[in-house]
Amino acid sequence: MPQTGGERVGVYPGTFDPITKGHADIIRRGAKLVDRLIIGVTTNMSKNPLFTPEERIAMVEREVASLELDNVSVVGFNALLMKFAEKQGATVIVRGLRAVADFEYEYQMAGMNQQLNAGIETVFLMADVSLQPIASKLVKEIAMFGGDITPFVSGPVRDDVLARIDKVGRMGDY
């Protein structure tokens, strides 16, 4: 849906495998910065996802619905981010930062994206201090070794992760 009538459209892209409380925080805050925020769920098979793209889209849609934000939608994509953003009529890419390591990677990506389309700005939001350590990769690792992921994801996401791990098998002695 291209931009219309001065509407400010933002895209918050990610793999969301699984969506965490940190992601939800960025969604909630990012939604305040734009008229319409599109959560772009990318396939990104290089990250070896636990969930299929369709499962991740459904999970993100459920979490977004629980936030009760009427200006947020969820769209799956398997394309270059800037092409996806252009197609959505976005003028802003929203990215969350947890630590210095995130900044270095995101800074490089923002520079490359600017080379591809200088008309789309990247906005960085610092994760809430209490949520900064949360990463989807770590949530999966903790769950795989039988740890409690309740502090990092919503109850329904925890249930999804545990059900999937029951199928693929746990690791280690717990």
At 169, the pLDDT band (50, 70, 90 cuts) reads: confident
Q: Does the annotation mark 130 as catalytic?
A: no
Q: Does the annotation mark 170 as catalytic?
A: no
CA distance readout (Å), 42 to 47, 59, 112, 166 = 11, 13, 18, 25
Domain membership flag for residue 149: yes
Q: What's the domain count of the chain?
A: 1
Q: Which domain holds residue 34?
A: 9-168
At 69, the pLDDT band (50, 70, 90 cuts) reads: very high
* Catalytic residue from among 8, 29, 62, 98: 98
Question: Per-residue pLDDT for 99 more than 70?
Answer: yes
Domain membership flag for residue 4: no
Average pLDDT taken over every residue of the chain: 91
At 48, the pLDDT band (50, 70, 90 cuts) reads: confident
Rounded to an integer, what distance in angstroms lies between the CA atom of residue 70 and that of residue 170? 38
- pLDDT for res 45: 65
Question: Per-residue pLDDT for 1 more than 50?
Answer: no
Indicate which CATH number applies to the domain containing 139: 3.40.50.620
Q: What share of the chain is helix, strand, coil (3-state, %, to 5)?
A: 45, 20, 35
Residue type (1 letter), 15: T
Whole-model pTM: value is 0.90
Question: Per-residue pLDDT for 116 more than 80?
Answer: yes
- pLDDT for res 172: 60
* Catalytic residue from among 136, 140, 154, 158: 136
Domain membership flag for residue 2: no
Domain membership flag for residue 44: yes
Domain membership flag for residue 174: no
Please say whether the beta carbons of 93 and 78 come within 8 A: no
Q: For residue 73, which phi and psi values (nearest 5 degrees)?
A: -130, 165
Domain membership flag for residue 62: yes
At 173, the pLDDT band (50, 70, 90 cuts) reads: low
Burial 90-115 (b: 16+ CB within 10 A, else e): bbbbbbbbbeeebeeebeeebeebee
Phi-psi label, residue 172: left if phi above 0, alpha if psi -120 to 50, beta otherwise = left
- pLDDT for res 91: 97
Who wins on pLDDT, 167 or 157?
Answer: 157
Q: Does the annotation mark 98 as catalytic?
A: yes
**3-state class (DSSP) for residue 27:** helix
Domain membership flag for residue 86: yes
Q: Given strand 72-77, what is the order of strands in its sheet?
A: 72-77, 36-42, 9-14, 92-97, 121-126
* Catalytic residue from among 23, 36, 95, 140: 23
Scan for tokens 């990247």, then name that residue. Answer: 122
* Catalytic residue from among 47, 83, 137, 170: 47
161: buried, middle or exposed (CB in 10 Å: 19+, 13-18, 0-12)? buried
Q: Does the annotation mark 36 as catalytic?
A: no
Query: What number is the average pLDDT over the span 60-73?
Result: 97
